[in-house]
Amino acid sequence: MNTPWSTAIARVDVDDVLVRGYPLSELVGEVSFVDMVFLVHTGELPGPHQSRVLDAVFVTLIEHGISPSTIISRELATCGTPMQAAIAGGVLSIADWHGGSGEDLAETLVVLLERVGDDAADEATDERVEAVAVEYVRARRGAGMRFEGFGHPQHPEGDPRAGTLLRLADECGTAGAATRLLRTLATVITRETGKSLPPNVTGAVAAVLLDLGFSWRAMRGLVIAPRTAGLTAHVVEELEQGARWRHAPADEIEYTGPAVRAPGPKGAGT
C-alpha cells in the first residue's frame, strides 16, 4: 500500500501556491530569495538580522576559485555535456573532504549541545561547555580522527570567510549556543593538539545555520545552493573560452608502472 505524500511546506492551488501559509503571489517582490529559503526550512519568515546573516552565508559560499567542484564542472563542459550535467558533476564532489564536512560537524554540535543540557545550552556554564568539548576532542584524537570543520589547507593562518561570518553573527545577535560551542572546540583542539585549527568556512556555516534554526540535515544542501550559482558562472566562462576536451598534458602525468617490456611467454600462473 502506497503511503500518501505529506508536506507542511507548500500546497498548489488552482489560483496560487501556498508556501508555509503564505500565498506565493503575495511574497513575490516583497521578500528576498534568502527569506524564502529561511521560510521553507523553518516555517517562518526571518527577521532583518536573520536575513542578513543567511544572505552572508550564501555570499560566503558562492565562490572559491578553481577548486575540485569547479574543475569537474569545467572539465565536463569541455566534453560537450549539457549545462545541468556539468553543474551536477561539480555538485557531486561536495562531500566529506570538499565543502560537505559541515553536515557532520553540525550533527556533532547538536549531539554535544544535548550533552551540555538541551534547552539550557545558552545559559550553561563555560566550564560545562568546555568539559563536553574536551571529552569530544580527546575521544576523537584517541581514535585518530580528523577534526572536520576546523583548519583549511589553503588558509593556514585561518579561513578569512569563517572569521567574517562569525563576527557578523555576533554583530547581528544571531550567534547562540552552537557558535559558542564551535569556538570552545577550536580553543580545546588547539590546546590539545598544539596546532592552531580555527573554524573553517564549513564549520562556521554549520554553527551559524544551527543558531538560525536550520536542521543539521540541511547543511550540504545549503552549501550546494549558492555554490551552484558559482559553478554556473564557471561553466559559462569555460564554454566562452572555447576549450574542448580539457585533459592533463602528458608531461604532467607521472607513470609509475613497469618499463616497456616484450610480451614473451606466458607467466608461471595458472
Q: What is the pLDDT of residues 200-221, one digit of tens each?
A: 999 999 999 999 999 999 999 9
* pLDDT of res. 95: 83
Confidence at 245, pLDDT banded by 50, 70, 90: confident
Nearest to 150 by CA among 186, 191, 177, 176: 186
Give pLDDT tens digits for 5-62: 999 999 999 999 999 999 999 999 999 999 999 999 999 999 999 999 999 999 999 9
Q: What values do phi and psi take at 43, rounded to 5?
A: 95, -5
pLDDT at 65 over 80: yes
Question: For all residues of the chain together, what is the average pLDDT?
Answer: 91
For cell 558533476, the residue is 89
* pLDDT of res. 140: 92
Integer Cα distance of 38 and 32 in angstroms: 10
pLDDT at 267 over 80: no
Residue 22 parent element (H or E): strand 22-23
Listed in order, the ranges of the chain carrying CATH 1.10.230.10 are 47-245
Q: What values do phi and psi take at 162, rounded to 5?
A: -65, -45
* Percent of the chain whose pLDDT exceeds 70: 94
What does the pLDDT average to over 66-83? 95
CATH superfamily of the 47-245 domain: Cytochrome P450-Terp, domain 2 (1.10.230.10)
* pLDDT of res. 268: 59
The three grid cell numbers given for residue 269, joined into one nine-digit string: 600462473
* pLDDT of res. 153: 66
Nearest to 61 by CA among 225, 218, 213: 225
Q: Let me know: does 193 contact 86? Beta carbons within 8 Å.
A: no
The three grid cell numbers given for residue 178, joined into one nine-digit string: 552552537
- Give me the helices (H) in 45-159, please: 48-61, 68-78, 83-92, 101-117, 126-142
pLDDT at 124 over 70: no
Interaxial angle between packed helices 201-212 and 160-172, expressed in degrees from 0 to 180 and rounded to the nearest 10: 20
pLDDT at 101 over 90: no
Q: Which residues contact 57 (CB under 8 A, 6 or more apart)?
A: 165, 205, 208, 209, 222, 226
Q: Taken in order 55, 57, 63, 65, is the CA torsion positive or negative?
A: positive
* pLDDT of res. 204: 95
pTM metric for this prediction: 0.89
